[in-house]
Amino acid sequence: PITREFTSGLPKAELHVHIEGTLEPDLKLKLAQRNHIDIGQQNVEEVQKTYDYDDLASFLAVYYPAMDVLQKEQDFYDLAFAYLQRAAANNVRHVEMFFDPQAHTSRGIAFETVLHGLHRAIVDARALNIDAALIMCFLRDFTSESARQTLIEALPYKDQLVGVGLDSDEHNNPPLKFARQFADAAAAGLHLTAHADIDQKDSIEHIRQALEIIGVERLDHGTNIVEDPDLVDFVSKNQIGLTSCPLSNAFISPEMKGKEVLELLAKGVKVSIHSDDPAYFGGYIADNYYAIASKFDLTKEQVVQLAKNSFESSWISKEQKALYL
Ligand code: ADE
Ligand code: ZN
C-alpha cells in the first residue's frame, strides 16, 4: 500500500492551491495581533470551531472574512513564504498558486501590496529549491467590469504572473460572463484556467463554455466532466489538465470524486492531485495524494502517473519539464 512517506517524497507540482487558503489558524492569530484586528477568536481551537461548512457557499462565507488579517505587504509575504517552506519540505518542486486580488482590493488593500508581498516570497523561496508562479483569479461573483479593472491593474506586472483563473461562487456565474477578460489576458500572453467546482448547478454547461468558448488550458476540479463523453474526448485530445482536490471535495461529496479521477486516469486524461485550501480542508498536497490513494487503493504506478500529470499540465517550459519527468 501507498504510505505517507511515499506521497510526501514523491516529486510533484502543485497547480491548484489558493494562497489565501493556506492561512493557518496560528498565522491568522499572529497577523490579527500584529494588525490590531479583532477576529473574535483568541486561540487555534476557537478559530478551528469556525471552520464549519459543507458546500462551496458556506465555505466561502468563512474564507473571505478571514482574509481581513492580511493588511500589509509583509503579511502577504509571510503567508506565501510559510506555504512555500511547507511545500518544499514535501518535495513540491513547482507551484502555480492562485491569488484573489479582488478579495483584497475590495477592502481597500492596494493591488501592489498583495502582488509585491507574494512575489517577494516566491523569489526568496528559490533558495529552498522550489520554483513558483502566480495565477491571478477573477472572482466570478463580482462583475465583469470589476474583472476588467483588475486586469488593467495587473497588466503592468504581467511578467510576475503566469496565468489567470476563475474562482469563488460558481452559482449563476458562468465562465462566459468573463469571456472578454480571458481573451484580453490571453492576448497579453497569459495562460488560462477556470474552476468548475464539483456538483454545481450547470456544471457541464460551465465546463463546455470554459473549454470551447474561453479556451482554458486546464480545468480546476472539473471531474464532473465524466458525465459527458464528448467533453472527455475533448480534454483527452487537447491534453487539458484537470486539477482535482480530494480533501476539499470530501466536504461536499464523501467519495471525493475518486471514481471519476480513476476513470479519467484510465482514459489517459491529464488529471492530477492538489490541495485547494489546505488550511481549511485538513491537509496539504501529500495528504491529498494519501487520502485518495488509501481510500481507493491506488497502485504505485497510478500515484506516479498523477504526479507526472502534474508536471505535464503545468506551465513550465518543455526543457524544464524534461528535468522533472
Ligand atoms: N476559492 C478558494 N477555494 C475555492 C474553490 N474550491 N472553489 C471556488 N473558489 C474558491
Ligand atoms: Zn480551488
Question: Known binder of ligand: residue 277?
Answer: yes
Question: What φ, ψ does residue 195 adopt, rounded to 5°?
Answer: -75, 140
Region 303-307 average pLDDT: 98
In tens, the pLDDT along 37-67 reads 999 999 999 999 999 999 999 999 999 999 9
Counting ligand 1 atoms within 8 A of each CB, the residue from 60, 67, 243, 257 with the most, and so the one to mutate, is: 60
Q: Which ligand is nearest to the CA of 281?
A: 1
The total domain count for the chain is: 1
Q: What pTM did the predictor assign?
A: 0.98
Residue 319 pLDDT more than 90? yes
Q: Percentage of residues in the chain with pLDDT exceeding 90?
A: 99
Separation between Cα atoms, residue 257 and residue 141, nearest integer Å: 25
In tens, the pLDDT along 258-271 reads 999 999 999 999 99
Beta-bridge partner residues of 136: 99, 164
Strands of the sheet containing 241-244, edge to edge, are 12-18, 92-99, 131-139, 163-167, 191-196, 218-221, 241-244, 270-273
Phi-psi region of 54 (alpha: psi -120 to 50; beta: other; left: phi over 0): alpha
In sequence order, which residues have a C-beta less than 8 Å from that of residue 60 and are 6 or more positions away? Answer: 168, 169
CATH code of the domain containing 270: 3.20.20.140
Separation between Cα atoms, residue 46 and residue 224, nearest integer Å: 35
Q: Percentage of residues in the chain with pLDDT exceeding 70?
A: 100
Q: What cell does 89 get? A: 519540505
Region 275-287 average pLDDT: 98
Q: What cell does 291 get? A: 487520502
Are 76 and 118 within 8 A, CB to CB? yes
The torsion angle over the Cα atoms of residues 89, 95, 98 and 104, rounded to 10 degrees, is 60
In tens, the pLDDT along 162-173 reads 999 999 999 999
Give the residue, by CA position, lying nearest to ligand 1 atom 1: 168
Q: Which ligand is nearest to the CA of 64?
A: 1
In tens, the pLDDT along 91-116 reads 999 999 999 999 999 999 999 999 99
pLDDT value at residue 201? 97
pLDDT band at 245 (very low <50, low <70, confident <90, very high): very high
Residue 149 pLDDT more than 90? yes
pLDDT band at 325 (very low <50, low <70, confident <90, very high): confident
Indicate the average pLDDT of the chain: 98
Q: Which ligand is nearest to the CA of 274?
A: 2
Domain boundaries, position 12? 4-324
Are 162 and 134 within 8 A, CB to CB? yes
pLDDT band at 121 (very low <50, low <70, confident <90, very high): very high
Atom number, ligand 1, closest to the C-alpha of residue 63? 2
pLDDT band at 123 (very low <50, low <70, confident <90, very high): very high
> Residues near ligand 1 with C-beta < 6 Å?
18, 21, 56, 167-168, 195, 197, 248, 276-277
Residue 205 pLDDT more than 90? yes
Counting ligand 1 atoms within 8 A of each CB, the residue from 14, 15, 16, 18 with the most, and so the one to mutate, is: 18
Question: Known binder of ligand: residue 36?
Answer: no
Give the residue, by CA position, lying nearest to ligand 1 atom 10: 168
Are 41 and 66 within 8 A, CB to CB? no
pLDDT value at residue 284? 98
